[in-house]
Structure 1
Amino acid sequence: MKKYFNFQLLLLLVVSLFILSCSNDDEGGPGFPDGSTESVNLWVQDSMRRYYYWADQMPAKPDYHLPVKDFFKSLLASQDRFSFAVDTMDPSSYPRSVRNMYGFDYAVIQLPDGSVVTTIKLVMKSSPAFNSGLQRGMIITKINGKTITAANAEELTSSIKDQTVIELTVGEWKNGSVENEKNIKVYYGYSLDQPLDSKIFEQNGKKTGYLYIYDFPDGMTPTLNQKFSQFKAAGIQELILDLRYNYGGSVSSAAALCSLIPSGITSSSPFIIYKGNKNGGEVKRTFAEQIAYDPHALDFNNLRANALGLNKVYILTSNSTASASEIVINNLKPYMQVVQVGEVTLGKDMAGFLVEDKRKPKKISWQLHPVIYKVFNANGEGAYSKGIDPQITANEFAKLPLLPLGDSEESLISSALNSISLKSAGKHALDERVKVLFQSDTPSAAIGK
């Protein structure tokens, strides 16, 4: 189901397409009857001992009588922000967020005069929010009749996750105030796969390609290849990747993107290093090897035919840039100059794969999504759990209303274009008087723990 698929992309990278089978037969332990909560918890413990990155920090004597979700959480290391478990027979066990359920996100910001406004920052194409008429840049004044404030924003966001329809009062930002307010109902539903949006900017005789990438699903290489074929045919000299809302996804798709940008790489060029626990050890993969883990991907040589051969790339980021997106940033650095524009990223320097019971008949309906590897680039550089810092700090919310993604005057894009043309990053982009008080896709809001 699409709503669950999106959250799997948010919270955990899919390193490989195979799904591992686990049983509790080879680990020993207390004998519990099949189907009992205790037997499921024993399976969870055995699986985590085998794969979990912090397996050596798991408690020696956990409480097998806890509900499964609580038992799973009791095994997690204190520094683990991302591992989660779901019961495929219980939809309520899946994480929820505003974006996942309704297809949009918003930010509560404080303006230089001290006033607080809530602006829609993302509306997914073909989503319930999109179909209801919401647009990026609109101002939300009320949620279900309640005026949004800095104090109640998180509580209102949390309440949205428990509903199937929400009513928003929205308006347009004009001359420093909200005008043309109206009520819009948004119904809980699915969002379709998001398209890649591209543009070509031309200034001072220099062509700059712009590519907005919402996520990294498997099977996206043909579309990536087509976009870069168009860029190459147009003769672009600079490239801006917009990953500001990209939670991640397939490492293979991220590797495919990376293979299309720099010069001087070959199929044997190292791309990524995975470091796991004592069972997982260390795994190194080249560009070609990582791309090939997606059975639907074009191979490395086909992709390289449309590579741009650049020595510099600009990447737009925010606190929502995570996982595979951060791998793109970190793993391109050994091969070219990466100029990051925007905010520090989320800091998910890790990866994993889905663990579930594949016995026939299946005895356990739970799926585990544990952190299994820490990830590093070809130079062995990683360890960015606190996020990756930008070279050009830019505030997306420095100027209202927010302009459409792809507009050359939009804050982050204009900061990158100004840098390309050797101008300043722009006073609006660097205006620190505008403060972000809350965002609906912050880790606590998005993960729903």
Structure 2
Amino acid sequence: MNKYFTLAVKVAIITVLGSAMLTACRKNDANRADNSTPTASSVVSDEDSLKYLMYRIMQVTYINGGRNKTTDLPTYLWYNQVPQLDPSSSNYASADNLLETMKSYSVSNGQVLDRYSFLDRTGSLSSSLQDGLSETFNKVSATGNYGMEVSYASDGSKSYLYIVYADKNSPAGRKGLNRGDEITAINGDTNLSYDGGSNVDKVTNAIYYSTSVTLKVKKAITGTVATYTLTSGSFNINPVLFDTVYTVNGQKTGYFVFYTFTNTFNTKGAATLTKSTLDALFSRFKSAGITNLIVDLRYNGGGSVTTAEYLDSAIAPAAAARKPMYYYKYNDKLTANLDGTGLEASVSFPSSTGGLSLNNVFFITSSHTASASELTLNNLMPYMNVKLVGDTTYGKPVGFITFNISKYDSTHTKQYLADLYAINFATENANRSGGYYKGIAPDEAANDYINVPWGYRTDDENLDKIFNYISTGSFGRTSANARVLTQSTTSLRAALPRSITSPKFNGMVDYRIGKRIQ
């Protein structure tokens, strides 16, 4: 491969001889400047540097001073809809402001398509997805998080605050907190009802942006009340929240809840907890002889595309072997130069799939189901009977190739600025189906009762409808089912979608290209 056409994931700004003039260059071509983009004559701050190179990577070229004649290779999927902008303009107080302006031009049929591009100024997302380590949400110190998500729910007359899931390895999970547990007080404050304003802000800051919190909790199954004090921390992510094998009308049916697509191999090439957990899970499913599979993605916002490929390969029938899994769609200039860039046109299933023989695969989805989750289920649709139950997915048929942006000051000291996640590609399945910016609608709608613990098959409307389909070929809910929790008198309470905004990552990233040029 031509070394000047490899993807320059690590980009440097070098301040030459103490001046403020910027030169974006490769290590082996440090004296060459490319002035084909608007340049700032007085760039003096880190933020100016970040704005300049972010704009350049997205709109001009990722090649820094390369000798190859073809250097006009912007990376942004919608680069040709963005007019020429001056990244040094005072109109943009920060790189984030500039990025928001650029995103606003990604319009199709009156709809702004790019709801996704962002800057990660801590670098924690890369560690989380690639190495399976908990992401840091706290804005003050790098302290990890509590490893749980919360949401409001309603019984039709009153709102309640619930834990919707907790990672088994997280501070919350290690204390025994789990789905369906009701939070009745935070730091002694019982005024938690949903108001769309100050109460929501109070809960959001306490759960996602603090380093210590005390919760009064009513347990889902027993109804007992206890107080828990949590300290945020780092942990190895276990993306499988719950798994089991049911027997439905004589048919073995595997079920697991998957909440994030962390890599199966880390940055050092070692298998992650994600891989070992999934390997063990599918080994159990295969040994049990399952003929139906339920993948619960209702809180999965995506992650690494390689893990999506792993899941698809484990689930797909033998007939899918070596056939196209999905296609990439880049902008026109990258597409015209694929041979030189190292970018792939498509991904195929491996020479052998996981060995399951499934009649159906069901995905439980919601408005939180995004990106790599949508990729996973869309990839399988051409090859097997795929059914979606729940709610319409988020709608993110596009992904990122991350760019690490650093600068070198006049003393040649390297300083990290941010990781750029700007949309670089879209995906389509083997039938060339994609473009689901408005989400993928379910085959059968079902409520998400978040006070129901994982696996309560008669009280989880999603599971009950799926079991009915396996038994009868119809999703209709059985009239004999109880409408209350098996071990509680609490009525079923449906989630209030988007009642709390989680800082957890939502998207899909392909890190492989960066690895190729290390």
| Residue equivalent to 1:292 | none
- Structure 1 residue 76 corresponds to structure 2 residue 135: no
Encode CA deviations 1:240-281: one digit per residue, 9 max, x unaligned: 112222221221221221122232535431111111222332
Q: 1:41 aligns with which of 43, 51, 75?
A: 51
CA separation of 1:364 and 1:101: change in aligned 2, threshold 3 A: closer
Encode CA deviations 1:389-430: one digit per residue, 9 max, x unaligned: 111211121xx7412x23434512232222211262356799
| Residue equivalent to 2:313 | 259
- Aligned pairs for 1:201-216 (under 5 A) are 201-216=246-261
| Residue equivalent to 1:170 | 217
CA separation of 1:429 and 1:318: change in aligned 2, threshold 3 A: farther
Contact 1:88–1:366 (Cα < 8 Å) also in 2: yes
Q: 1:154 aligns with which of 188, 193, 200?
A: 200
Distance 2:123 2:288 in 1: 50
Contact 2:407–2:417 (Cα < 8 Å) also in 1: no
Distance 1:104 1:440 in 2: 16
User: What residue identity is the alignment partner of 1:279?
Assistant: K
Distance 2:95 2:482 in 1: 46
Shift of 1:154: 2.7
Shift of 1:320: 1.8
Contact 1:271–1:377 (Cα < 8 Å) also in 2: yes
| Residue equivalent to 2:404 | 356
Distance 1:266 1:180 in 2: 49
Shift of 1:21: 3.4
User: What residue identity is the alignment partner of 1:211?
Assistant: F
CA separation of 1:269 and 1:34: change in aligned 2, threshold 3 A: farther
Q: 2:430 aligns with which of 375, 378, 391?
A: 378
- Structure 1 residue 338 corresponds to structure 2 residue 365: no
| Residue equivalent to 1:187 | 231
Contact 1:318–1:344 (Cα < 8 Å) also in 2: yes
Contact 2:261–2:308 (Cα < 8 Å) also in 1: yes
Per mean C-alpha deviation after superposition, the further-off stretch among 367-376 and 266-275 is 266-275
Distance 2:138 2:415 in 1: 30
Contact 1:268–1:286 (Cα < 8 Å) also in 2: no
Encode CA deviations 1:157-215: one digit per residue, 9 max, x unaligned: 343344222222222468xxx96444322222223211534321113321111232222
CA separation of 1:195 and 1:83: change in aligned 2, threshold 3 A: closer
Q: Structure 2-normalised TM-score? A: 0.70
Distance 1:352 1:429 in 2: 45
Q: Structure 1-normalised TM-score? A: 0.79
Q: 2:331 aligns with which of 262, 272, 277?
A: 277
Distance 2:229 2:330 in 1: 46
CA separation of 1:336 and 1:352: change in aligned 2, threshold 3 A: same
- Aligned pairs for 1:1-400 (under 5 A) are 20-22=9-11, 24=24, 25-26=33-34, 27-30=36-39, 31-33=41-43, 36-49=46-59, 50-62=74-86, 64=88, 65=90, 66-77=93-104, 78-88=112-122, 96=137, 101-112=145-156, 114-144=157-187, 145-151=189-195, 152=197, 153-160=199-206, 161-172=208-219, 180-196=224-240, 197-219=242-264, 220-221=274-275, 223-281=277-335, 284-288=345-349, 300-301=350-351, 304=353, 306-357=354-405, 362=414, 365-397=417-449
Give identity over the alignment, percent.
Answer: 28
| Residue equivalent to 1:11 | none
| Residue equivalent to 2:471 | 421
| Residue equivalent to 1:15 | none
Partner-residue secondary structure (3-state), 2:309: helix
User: What residue identity is the alignment partner of 1:408?
Assistant: R
Per mean C-alpha deviation after superposition, the further-off stretch among 158-167 and 324-333 is 158-167
Partner-residue secondary structure (3-state), 1:257: helix
| Residue equivalent to 1:437 | 496
Contact 2:320–2:383 (Cα < 8 Å) also in 1: no
Distance 2:355 2:293 in 1: 12
Distance 1:33 1:391 in 2: 54
Partner-residue secondary structure (3-state), 1:217: coil
Contact 1:97–1:446 (Cα < 8 Å) also in 2: no
Encode CA deviations 1:361-382: one digit per residue, 9 max, x unaligned: 6465221011111111111111
Encode CA deviations 1:122-155: one digit per residue, 9 max, x unaligned: 1111112123442221111233314112214432
Contact 1:125–1:192 (Cα < 8 Å) also in 2: no
Shift of 1:339: 0.8
Partner-residue secondary structure (3-state), 2:442: coil
Contact 2:291–2:357 (Cα < 8 Å) also in 1: no
Distance 1:234 1:89 in 2: 41
Partner-residue secondary structure (3-state), 2:178: coil
Contact 1:323–1:349 (Cα < 8 Å) also in 2: yes
Shift of 1:446: 4.7
Encode CA deviations 1:85-131: one digit per residue, 9 max, x unaligned: 1234899xx98389x7221112212213x122222211111112123
User: What residue identity is the alignment partner of 2:114?
Assistant: D
CA separation of 1:408 and 1:21: change in aligned 2, threshold 3 A: same
Shift of 1:342: 1.3
Distance 1:150 1:248 in 2: 27
Segments of 5+ residues of structure 1 without an aligned counterpart are: 1-17, 289-299
Per mean C-alpha deviation after superposition, the further-off stretch among 339-348 and 266-275 is 266-275
Higher-Rg member (1/2): 2
Contact 1:211–1:241 (Cα < 8 Å) also in 2: yes
Partner-residue secondary structure (3-state), 2:469: helix
